[in-house]
Amino acid sequence: MMASDVARKQMPGQPVGAAARRSPDPRRGSLDRLHGRGSLRQARRILPVVFAETSGGLSEDYTTEMQERMGGSLAYEHDRGMNYTRILDGTRSHPGLIVGSCLQTPEDAERLRNDEKVRAVLCLQQDKDMAYFDLDIMPVLGGCEAVGIDHFRSRVNDFDPHDLRLRLPDAAAALERAARLCGPGESVYVHCTAGLGRAPGVAIAYMYWVLGYGLMEAHGILTSKRPCHPKLESIRLATCDMLLGSATTKVKIGIRAPVSAREVLVAGLDMGWDRTVSCVKENDRFVLERDLPGGRFQYKYIVDGRWTYNADAPTLCDNGNNNNYLDVVTGDDHERGVRSRVLSTEAELLLQEREIILRSIADAYL
């Protein structure tokens, strides 16, 4: 069971909107899109981002956390309503692609359908993201259905690069499924909460894996039109997972804490910064053993409630925060060579590797 699913309003197993009435053309294969390119007209930008101070309240708190987790000075003002940017125009081989913030009202669906010819929407929000802004999705689903928009969901945790890594293949498959519903001149709309992290990341992965763009090419196109902070490392690591599997290796980390320390926790690694796990005392150190897939993992210690890092282990600075990091290597020499190439800046893929990824994505939504 993949994480993405069509949002349902009434009958189980029935998609919302016109997909219940019209099936996609089975002759449209993913491989047909390998070399497709969207025309790169000037993007239509409608309040895409705000660099000034927010109006306060929930938006200010959300922006503070976003800037701390993602870096930069971008802000999100929920009270200003939905905002979006057209990234790609549609071509004969693929529909238009629009990235934006969450739909808030039925009128947002009507606006997308009438102004942008949106045929399908992919929502990446968790239920708790909507609850934070007291957003009720049911009127939005009703608005989508009323104007013939199919609404899909593929839930990804906010501000969590590792969760994005794990869920990217399903999200890209959901986006491809949504895209297949589009007719000539129609577009697909992908959004998270602010449209500045998860949604751009999924859109770039889709352009890279399905449409055949280079990773940095896709990143350059999207970020030149919509300033944002997509996590490219999550896309590179998800690409490795799709090609090589997600085999794990047991690793061990530790720190010398004061003799008086009562509790030492670790945050980060594959858990995200919101979760922690306890270390165990081993002689004069507090240690943690964990099975991790290949890749680089940042982490930090919490000693009796105080966040710190181990100065004797590798460190890096991430958005002004000094964190420890761990490079995990798995597989034989061939797999290590593939991983090294895919994790490089350009993340170049061989033709057969693209075909493996496309088959994986096609299998996920069929």
Residues taking part in catalysis = 192
- Report the C-alpha gap between 231 and 228 in whole angstroms: 10
Token pair for residue 97? 């692609």
Helix (H) or strand (E) holding 359: helix 351-365
CA distances from 358 to 17, 19, 188 (A): 27, 23, 19
Q: How far is CA 203 from CA 94, 218, 234, 276, 319, in A?
A: 13, 9, 13, 30, 23
Q: Cα–Cα distance between 240 and 243 in angstroms, integer?
A: 5
User: C-alpha distances in angstroms, 196 versus 21, 109, 217, 223?
Assistant: 33, 20, 18, 10
Does residue 322 come out as left (phi exceeding 0), alpha (psi in the -120 to 50 range) or beta? Answer: beta
- The pairing of beta strand 264-268 with beta strand 272-278: antiparallel
As to burial, measured by CB atoms within 10 angstroms (0-12 exposed, 13-18 middle, 19+ buried), residue 355 is middle
Sequence-ordered strand ranges (E) for 113-247: 118-123, 150-153, 187-191
In angstroms, the CA 347 to CA 349 distance is 6
